[in-house]
Amino acid sequence: MTTVTSSPTNPKLPNIHKTPALIQVIQAMFDQFGLLEKSQKKYGDIFYTRKSSLLPPFVIFSDPKAIEKLFTADPNLFEVGEQTSVPIRILLGSNSLVVLNGLEHKRQRQLLMPPFHGERMKKYGQTIIDITENVINQWQVGQSICIRDYTQEISLRVILKAIFGLDEGKQYNELQENLVSLLEIFNSPLKSLFLFLPPLQKDLGFLTPWREFLRQKQTIKDLLNTEINCRKNNPNTFGEDILSLMISARDENGQSMSNEEIQDELMTILFAGHETTANSLAWSMYWIHYIPEIGQKLIAEFNSLNGKTSQKDYNSITKLPYLSAVISETLRLNPVVVFINRQLKQPFELMGYTFEAGTSLLPSIYLTHQRPDIYPQPKVFKPERFLEKQFSPYEYLPFGGGNRRCLGYAFALFEMKLVLATILSQVKLELLDNHPLKSTRRGITFSPAGGVRMKVKALR
């Protein structure tokens, strides 16, 4: 790895990126991973970009010791910056957990956490298997499919069930359709640009992505609002779902959440809880078929359990070591979120440099997962590395870390295992995209380019 030398103009700062922030943002739309690799090669293990009208100063790094320092520091030293969170505020709303700070953040996390962990999460096991089987039943032998469309359908239906306690009916079909259309607006890097560049956030007449985005978002908000009011007026419909939880929640002053707050939180769970899982599942399906021995080993592992997948105890499926290793390796090599972002509220020392308040600290998930000192031959898909060694949370961080670690990480892993086990034990597929695939931007997440085309060979 390149040796770090400090900036000649300020010995307290690391190497300074010569490319202006705006150009970096545009480059990152089209080739985020290439830009990161080239920058690291040129500037070393930690590099800094000066403040601009678009972004605060930011520093990118991948050293596990620096990541450990960040994740174990007092969370009150950091906040979610106004400028860097613009895309999230636009997409999810300003009351989203992802942009809340301090006590408000802690309180919302405590409220939303339980359904995604432990026994409450396990209650969704059968639902996940049923929804996956229902989706598989749409396939016919000989049919060509884009696997990401189906992993998205599965993960969206699963999260709708967790939120509303239901995954069918007119209201849910409408929500599902509109959410997919909203996310389709960002299905190319070019269209994703307007999320990141405020000058493009203007209504320039029909057909402009911004107008289309606002229209779609309003439709979804109206649908959510109707559902919230409907539940509020019928307390007998309350269950263990997330919407019921939010409607019943009261703060220490007895104050309930406003409809606007509930809408933004629902958008957060809907979006964060399905797009990421859908992309990661599509990547797993790609690798399992691109390297056929991996698929064979998985089938052998499933066969070691008795009975059809749907009748098996899903606790056993989630404990299968090779299946877990395949998923871990997918999330290492193809992270769907590239950075973690913590903005400093006061000066902070990291790797021998001092960063001023206002600086965004961006540990790069991608660059950390590509370090040859932690992962020899980092570009090779090799699940065995997770069977041979346990990595620290500062070396392996697909779900971030510290007090903002992904709220749904346990749920995502649980869901991925059950979906993969169900598909692989019941359908034989052939990979049509049998060549190296690039990761491409879809708004704020990354997904396999083209969505992974496959052919249905046989139903087992």
Q: Does 267 bind ligand HEM (CB under 6 A)?
A: no
Q: Does 364 bind ligand HEM (CB under 6 A)?
A: no
Residue 405 Rama label (left phi>0; alpha psi -120 to 50; beta): beta
Least separation in angstroms between residue 115's CB and ligand HEM is: 8
Q: Smaller CB distance to ligand HEM: residue 130 or 212?
A: 130
CA separation for the pair 49, 235 (Å, rounded): 52
Q: Does 277 bind ligand HEM (CB under 6 A)?
A: yes
Q: Does 276 bind ligand HEM (CB under 6 A)?
A: yes
Neighbours of 177 (CB within 10 A): 11
Strands (E), 50-126: 58-61, 78-79
Residue located via tokens 């070019």: 190
Q: Does 273 bind ligand HEM (CB under 6 A)?
A: yes
**Could you tell me if 304 and 283 are in contact, meaning their C-beta atoms sit under 8 angstroms apart?**
no
Return the residue of 90, 129, 406, 420 that touches ligand HEM, per CB under 6 A: 406
Q: Does 266 bind ligand HEM (CB under 6 A)?
A: no
Least separation in angstroms between residue 416's CB and ligand HEM is: 7
- Per this entry, what is the length of the chain? 460
Q: Does 446 bind ligand HEM (CB under 6 A)?
A: no
Binding mask 214-253 for ligand HEM (x = CB under 6 A): ----------------------------------------
Beta bridge partners of 256: 250
Q: Which residues, other chains included, contact 252 with Cβ-Cβ below 8 Å and sequence gap of 6+?
A: none
Q: Does 398 bind ligand HEM (CB under 6 A)?
A: yes
* One-letter amino acid for residue 288 of the chain: I
| Phi, psi at 79, each rounded to 5° | -145, 170
CA separation for the pair 434, 292 (Å, rounded): 11
Q: Does 337 bind ligand HEM (CB under 6 A)?
A: yes
Residue located via tokens 């009748």: 311
**Could you tell me if 451 and 147 are in contact, meaning their C-beta atoms sit under 8 angstroms apart?**
yes
Least separation in angstroms between residue 307's CB and ligand HEM is: 28
Return the residue of 172, 355, 396, 411 that touches ligand HEM, per CB under 6 A: 411
Q: Smaller CB distance to ligand HEM: residue 145 or 156?
A: 156
Least separation in angstroms between residue 242's CB and ligand HEM is: 9
CA separation for the pair 14, 213 (Å, rounded): 39
Q: Does 176 bind ligand HEM (CB under 6 A)?
A: no
Give the footprint of ligand HEM on this chain (CB under 6 A).
97-98, 109, 116, 268-269, 272-273, 276-277, 280, 331, 336-337, 340, 398-401, 404-408, 411-412
